[in-house]
């Protein structure tokens, strides 16, 4: 029989980087999912507010800050586009990156019809 002293240490040295990579990837996916959910909620509410004539972009900034999503994402931009019948809100961000090479750019888009009251003449 051979001497197997230190075999567990060598196995741990080989396995540890893969375990840490899987843990970091799971953490990154979870944070990106949370940021996506917050940005989607902000874009929907902003589109609803803009559709009835209320300013919504400032509200979206406050909402994102209140949920601490701005700590988990960078380069957050909010774009509100008014069309003839609709309001379109696009929010883009980059989630924090724990795993090199795993890009987590996030873009959410919401669109609402503009609510207009017309007389029945």
Calculate mean pLDDT across residues 73-87.
91
- Report whether pLDDT(50) > 60: yes
On whether the pTM is more than 0.85, the answer is: no
Give residues with Cβ within 8 angstroms of 76, minimum separation 6.
39, 64, 69, 70, 91, 92, 93
Is the pLDDT higher at 94 or at 117?
Answer: 94
Mapping DSSP to helix (H, G, I), strand (E, B) and coil, where does residue 53 land? coil
Between 87 and 53, residue with greater pLDDT:
87
> CA end-to-end span of the chain, whole Å?
99
Average pLDDT over residues 35-63: 90
- On the question of pLDDT at 1 being above 60, the answer is no
């Amino acid at each position: 029989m051979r001497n197997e002293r230190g075999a567990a240490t060598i196995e741990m040295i080989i396995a540890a980087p893969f375990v840490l990579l899987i843990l970091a990837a799971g953490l990154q996916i979870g944070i990106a999912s949370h940021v996506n959910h917050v940005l989607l909620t902000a874009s929907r509410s902003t589109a609803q507010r803009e559709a009835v004539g209320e300013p919504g972009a400032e509200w979206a900034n406050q909402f994102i800050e209140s949920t601490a999503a701005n700590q988990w994402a960078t380069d957050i931009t909010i774009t509100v586009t008014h069309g003839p019948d609709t309001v379109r809100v696009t929010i883009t961000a980059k989630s924090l990156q724990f795993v090199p090479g795993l890009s987590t750019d996030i873009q959410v888009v919401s669109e609402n019809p503009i609510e207009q009251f017309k007389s029945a003449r």
